[in-house]
């Protein structure tokens, strides 16, 4: 069944209206007809089962048949990732959505090749948020992750965004297998973390000073295996691991 996105403020009535790009796709690409059933996601945990009620050349009106709500994740995951070259960040955002990240923070680190000014950062943020929207439509996630404006490590840390268990992929410091940090947290607190995060550096890794700042904020250095991973591979590795461990803690083996 085809999925569409409408922001929460447009999903409060008894019927829903698709316009703009969403309507164009429904009307002129999919050529949906009256009574066709579709799903609408609002990115705020709601999923609407709808049928096509009427259409014009630019607007599709939908009748709501059923409504479901998914509670907020028990442990929101934040991905902090250095911006790679080219369009790889878009692929990282897509995979992050599929793997349950609730917040994506692109980082401008010392070794990031593409450095953005304020206007460029804002424009990229809007484009990347659209990538996240397309990703929830593809995978059916009911919560839309927030893609933040690219920022430095210092700016993020100054904003005081606590994560109960944050992991940082590292090549330079004493590291542990990520499961060791989960087990230590569980032993100390008698429960799993209520918020988690993963820091992923750029090609060439974080600088030693950056790593020290990240670890000083409470992040735990982890090994990602014996091989040197690309940025996008490291992001998928860490998010997959977090997903697995959090699922095991919440639901058991």
pLDDT, tens only, 133-182: 999 999 999 999 999 999 999 999 998 788 999 999 987 767 899 999 99
14 and 87 in a single domain? The answer is: no
Task: Please state the domain count of the chain.
Answer: 2
81 and 53 in a single domain? The answer is: no
At which of 37, 69, 101 does a domain end? Answer: 69
65 and 183 in a single domain? The answer is: no
pLDDT > 90? residue 130: yes
Mean pLDDT of all residues in 188-202? 95
64 and 91 in a single domain? The answer is: no
177 and 233 in a single domain? The answer is: yes
Mean residue pLDDT of the chain comes to 92
At which of 14, 41, 69 does a domain end? Answer: 69
Distance CA 72, CA 53 (A): 31
207 and 225 in a single domain? The answer is: yes
**What integer pLDDT is reported at residue 250 of this predicted model?**
60
What's the CATH number where 189 sits? 3.40.1280.10
92 and 15 in a single domain? The answer is: no
145 and 39 in a single domain? The answer is: no
45 and 25 in a single domain? The answer is: yes
28 and 133 in a single domain? The answer is: no
Distance CA 233, CA 239 (A): 10
Cα 197 to the center of its chain, rounded Å: 11
How many Cα atoms within 13 Å fall on the side-chain side of residue 253?
A: 0
pLDDT digit string, tens, across residues 68-115: 999 999 999 999 999 999 899 999 999 999 999 999 999 999 999 888
Of the pLDDT bands very low, low, confident and very high (cuts 50, 70, 90), residue 118 is confident
Distance CA 142, CA 140 (A): 6
pLDDT > 70? residue 1: yes
Residue ranges making up the domain that contains 220: 77-251
63 and 97 in a single domain? The answer is: no
At which of 69, 97, 123 does a domain end? Answer: 69
pLDDT > 90? residue 239: yes
Contact of 141 with 39, CB cutoff 8 Å: no
What's the CATH number where 13 sits? 2.40.240.20
Of the pLDDT bands very low, low, confident and very high (cuts 50, 70, 90), residue 13 is confident
- Comparing CA positions, the residue from 174, 238, 162, 227 lying closest to residue 200 is 238
36 and 136 in a single domain? The answer is: no
């Amino acid at each position: 069944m085809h999925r569409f996105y409408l922001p929460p403020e447009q999903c409060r009535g008894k019927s829903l209206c698709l316009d703009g790009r969403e309507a164009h796709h429904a009307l002129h690409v999919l050529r949906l007809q009256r009574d066709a059933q579709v799903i609408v996601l609002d990115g705020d945990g709601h999923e609407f089962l709808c049928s096509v009620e009427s259409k014009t050349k630019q607007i599709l009106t939908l009748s709501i048949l059923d409504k479901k709500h998914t509670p907020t994740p028990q442990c929101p995951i934040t991905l902090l990732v250095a911006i790679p070259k080219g369009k790889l960040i878009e692929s990282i955002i897509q995979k992050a959505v599929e793997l349950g990240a609730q917040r994506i923070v692109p980082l401008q680190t010392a070794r990031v090749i593409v450095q953005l000014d304020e206007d460029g950062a804002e424009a990229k943020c809007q484009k990347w948020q659209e990538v996240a929207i397309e990703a929830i439509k593809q995978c059916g996630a009911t919560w839309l992750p927030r893609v933040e404006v690219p920022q430095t490590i210092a700016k993020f840390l100054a904003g005081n965004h606590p994560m109960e268990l944050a992991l940082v992929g590292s090549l330079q410091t004493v590291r542990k297998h990520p499961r060791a940090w989960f087990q230590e947290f569980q032993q100390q607190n008698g429960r799993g973390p209520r918020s988690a995060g993963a820091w992923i550096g750029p090609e060439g890794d974080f600088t030693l000073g950056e790593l020290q700042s990240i670890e000083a904020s409470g992040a735990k250095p982890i090994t990602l295996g014996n091989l040197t991973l690309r940025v996008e591979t490291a992001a998928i590795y860490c998010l997959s691991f977090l997903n697995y461990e959090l699922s095991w803690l919440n639901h058991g083996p």
